[in-house]
Amino acid sequence: MMSPAHRTGERPHQCGFSLIELMIAIAIGLFLCSGMLAIVLSMRIGFKTQDGLTRMQENARFVLTVMDMTVHNAGYFVDTLGGPVAAALPVPANANTDGTTFLAGQFVTGTSGGGAGASDTLDLRFQTASGDGMVDCNGNANTSGAAQVFTNSFSVNAAGQLVCSVSVDGGTPSAQAVLVDNVSAMTLLFSVDTNHDGIVDTYQTAAAVTAAGLWRTVGAVQITLTFKDLVNSTATTAVDFPKSLQHAINFMNPTK
């Protein structure tokens, strides 16, 4: 039997979406997708920012720990009540990694980077008794059975790494060991007694201290480290973090 539509010659009714309805649905879908994409990108940037800040904070904590532990020992020697410091810290046979040398009794020196992003260098030494627990910048202790002199040389290499090499008893400095990455620059200021009255009166660069012959009066060093901004830096353009880490460290035995 034929349906009424067929009997009357009418075509059956067909349901569907009009072109305008489809365009509206597509527009709503694109709007929702763009919102989700914006949320994903925002979360990704947030995670990247947090990761960069966490890495910089970890580097800063580690650097402060190593430098506090090592730099503070500068000038120490075992027989502080008996023998002279010149005997405990004699003239070494080899120069430091930055080309500087120590006079007898001198325990700190360094160089100025000279600007244009070049970093300063820091060299310091102390005498340690076997088994006393004092360590160099690479974490090595004296287990030789006799007193030794540890010379620690800090610098920033071309790869933006804070490195340290060690010389024992004035011997050839070791290979540079990497302490932390992503360091743009290290600048130093040394506390000095310019009029030799026993009171520190100014902070000077390594170049100024060398020119004035004041290394024997230095009692502390102010270290400023500038780290790279891992969030905003690119493969071709390095951006520095806006705030630098600044820390002053007094020497254990600032002998004049």
CA distance 109 to 218: 9
Give pLDDT, residue 256: 46
CA distance 120 to 118: 7
Give pLDDT, residue 80: 64
> Has residue 192 been placed in a domain?
yes
Domains contained in the chain, number: 1
Structure tokens at 223: 């270290």
> Has residue 19 been placed in a domain?
no
> Has residue 85 been placed in a domain?
yes
> Has residue 175 been placed in a domain?
yes
> Has residue 58 been placed in a domain?
yes
pTM score of the predicted model:
0.77
Q: Which domain holds residue 123?
A: 51-250
> Has residue 255 been placed in a domain?
no
- Residues 60, 110: contact at Cβ < 8 Å? no
CA distance 190 to 218: 6
CA distance 184 to 118: 9
> Has residue 41 been placed in a domain?
no
What is the residue-level pLDDT of the chain in tens, covering all 256 positions? 555 555 555 555 556 667 787 788 888 888 888 878 888 777 776 666 666 666 777 777 888 888 888 999 999 998 866 678 888 999 999 999 999 999 999 999 999 987 666 899 999 999 999 999 999 999 999 999 999 999 999 999 988 899 999 999 999 999 999 998 888 899 999 999 888 887 888 999 999 999 999 998 899 999 999 888 877 777 777 788 778 888 999 998 655 4
- Residues 152, 127: contact at Cβ < 8 Å? no
> Has residue 2 been placed in a domain?
no
Give pLDDT, residue 18: 75
Give pLDDT, residue 53: 65
